């Protein structure tokens, strides 16, 4: 392991280096002269590793990983720890997911409380607010983390966030920052939403049409970079520009909506999930019923992040439709 020289620049460790955001962060830090060394922690090496990046194999589901991590952090004098080892889509291996997200975060925080890096950045999602009929149109960071009933995918992240909140309270010296990303869409990212929208048909809860919000993958990566750079602490919603009703999103995507009563969809998705035919659990249907849209004013104010790409541009980019295409209005351009 090469010894680091903190006097030359900042040293960053990134868990989940193989996720989309982790990989983008590595690439951006590689180009940034203020960072002298980046440690990519994951169970397999990231795709592109530059000269600054060192890959260290680390499995957060192992029971003694916190000790290993603490030794590593002490030896390498990491000053910024980015915790991004979270699943981007639900899995049937619920026990493993729990070990990785909830217990894995515990291991990370154990190591950080021993070594105390200057800064801790955690990657989370706005799904932790949960889709609820009582949600206001724009959820601020102070809103309750309702989580989501019957969804370990969301609730494990809520538990991880609670642990980080407690850690932040107990260790005021560590700048702790949580980024809650709106669902990320884009040409290269792969997560629950991109899989959901890749199917030619999509379920619609008959008579319901909530507003939806997406953040472009490049905007999301930029926000993560900003968060690593800055000294801001607390939770931040990382959102895209604008909202659109769910059925309009489907129309822009050219997906065929399949409207059916709620009960029918719930029963059908239960069967499809149990037989492992679809990647989204039945409880995800709540997000097609009620609002879960976050407010990005705090990130704009304190982090200096403002989304650059509109929701429509994000959707078209996900489809691979180039920006030259009829600048503002698809319906008119295609009519």
Partner 1 sequence: MTDDEDPVIGDGEEDWYGDADPRVPDASPWPNRDLAFLEEPPPQPEPSPRNPEAELRELERRVEQSRTPVYFDLHKRLPLEGVWRRWRSLAMWGRSDVVDDFGRDPRATARWEWLFEFLYSKWFRVQAFGIDNIPARGRALLVANHAGTLPYDSAMVMHAVRRDHPSRRDVRPLVEDTVFHLPFLGPVMNRIGGVRADPANAERLLEKDELVAVFPEGEKGMGKLWKDRYRLQRFGRGGFVKLALRTRAPIIPVAVVGAEEAAPMLGKVTWFAKNIGIPWIPVTPTFPWIGPAGLLPLPSKWFIEFGEPIDLSSAGTGAADDRLLVNKLADQIRSQIQTMVDGLLAKRRSPLFSAFLG
Q: Is 303 left (phi over 0), alpha (psi -120 to 50) or beta?
A: alpha
Which of positions 126-185 make contact with partner 1 (CB under 8 A)?
Answer: 133-134, 136-138, 140
How far is 178 from 111, CA to CA, in rounded Å? 18
Residue 277 sits in the site that holds partner 1 (CB under 8 A): no
Which of positions 53-92 make contact with partner 1 (CB under 8 A)?
Answer: none
Closest CA to 149 of 277, 266, 268: 266
Tell which one of 62, 248, 268, 300 touches partner 1 (CB under 8 A). 248
How far is 109 from 176, CA to CA, in rounded Å? 11
Reduce the DSSP state of residue 332 to 3 states and report it: helix
Residue 312 sits in the site that holds partner 1 (CB under 8 A): yes
How far is 52 from 5, CA to CA, in rounded Å? 12
Question: Closest CB to partner 1 among 277 and 322?
Answer: 322
Question: Closest CB to partner 1 among 49 and 260?
Answer: 260
Question: Closest CB to partner 1 among 197 and 236?
Answer: 197
Question: Closest CB to partner 1 among 53 and 243?
Answer: 243
**Tokens encoding 109:** 């925080």
Cβ-contact 320, 160 below 8 angstroms: no
- Describe the strand order of the beta sheet including 53-57 as a list of residue ranges: 53-57, 35-42, 10-15, 80-83, 119-125, 175-181, 234-238
Question: Closest CB to partner 1 among 14 and 131?
Answer: 131
Question: Closest CB to partner 1 among 9 and 242?
Answer: 242
Encoded one letter per residue, x for contact with partner 1 by CB under 8 A and - for no contact, window 195-214 reads ---x-------xxxx-x---
Tell which one of 9, 45, 234, 242 touches partner 1 (CB under 8 A). 242
CA 96 to chain centre: 19
Which residue ranges make up the site for partner 1 (CB under 8 A)? 133-134, 136-138, 140, 187, 198, 206-209, 211, 242-245, 247-248, 250-254, 256-257, 291, 310, 312, 319-322, 324-326, 329-331, 333-335
């Amino acid at each position: 392991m090469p010894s680091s020289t903190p006097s030359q620049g900042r040293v960053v460790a990134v868990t989940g280096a193989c996720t989309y955001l982790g990989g983008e962060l590595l690439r951006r830090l590689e180009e940034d002269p203020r960072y002298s060394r980046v440690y990519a922690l994951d169970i397999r090496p990231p795709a592109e590793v530059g000269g600054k990046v060192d890959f260290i194999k680390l499995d957060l589901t192992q029971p003694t990983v916190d000790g290993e991590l603490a030794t590593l952090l002490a030896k390498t004098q990491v000053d910024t720890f980015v915790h991004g080892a979270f699943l981007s889509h639900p899995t049937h291996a619920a026990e493993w997911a729990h070990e990785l997200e909830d217990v894995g975060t515990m291991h990370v925080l154990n190591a950080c409380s021993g070594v105390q890096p200057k800064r801790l950045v955690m990657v989370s999602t706005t799904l932790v607010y949960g889709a609820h009929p009582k949600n206001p149109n724009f959820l601020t960071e102070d809103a309750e983390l309702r989580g989501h009933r019957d969804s370990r995918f969301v609730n494990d992240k809520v538990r991880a966030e609670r642990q980080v909140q407690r850690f932040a309270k107990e260790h005021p010296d560590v700048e702790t920052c949580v980024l809650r990303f709106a669902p990320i869409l884009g040409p290269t990212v792969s997560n629950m939403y991109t899989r959901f929208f890749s199917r030619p048909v999509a379920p619609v809860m008959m008579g319901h049409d909530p507003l939806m919000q997406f953040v472009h993958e490049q905007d999301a990566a930029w926000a993560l970079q900003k968060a690593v750079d800055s000294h801001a602490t607390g939770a931040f919603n990382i959102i895209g520009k604008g909202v659109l009703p769910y059925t309009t999103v489907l129309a822009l995507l050219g997906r065929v909506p399949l409207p059916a009563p709620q009960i029918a969809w719930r029963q059908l998705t239960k069967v499809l999930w149990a037989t492992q035919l679809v990647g989204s659990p039945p409880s995800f249907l709540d997000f097609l019923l009620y609002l879960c849209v976050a407010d990005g004013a705090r990130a704009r104010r304190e982090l200096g992040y403002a989304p650059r790409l509109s929701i429509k541009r994000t959707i078209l980019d996900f489809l691979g439709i180039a920006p030259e295409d009829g600048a503002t209005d698809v319906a008119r351009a295609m009519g």
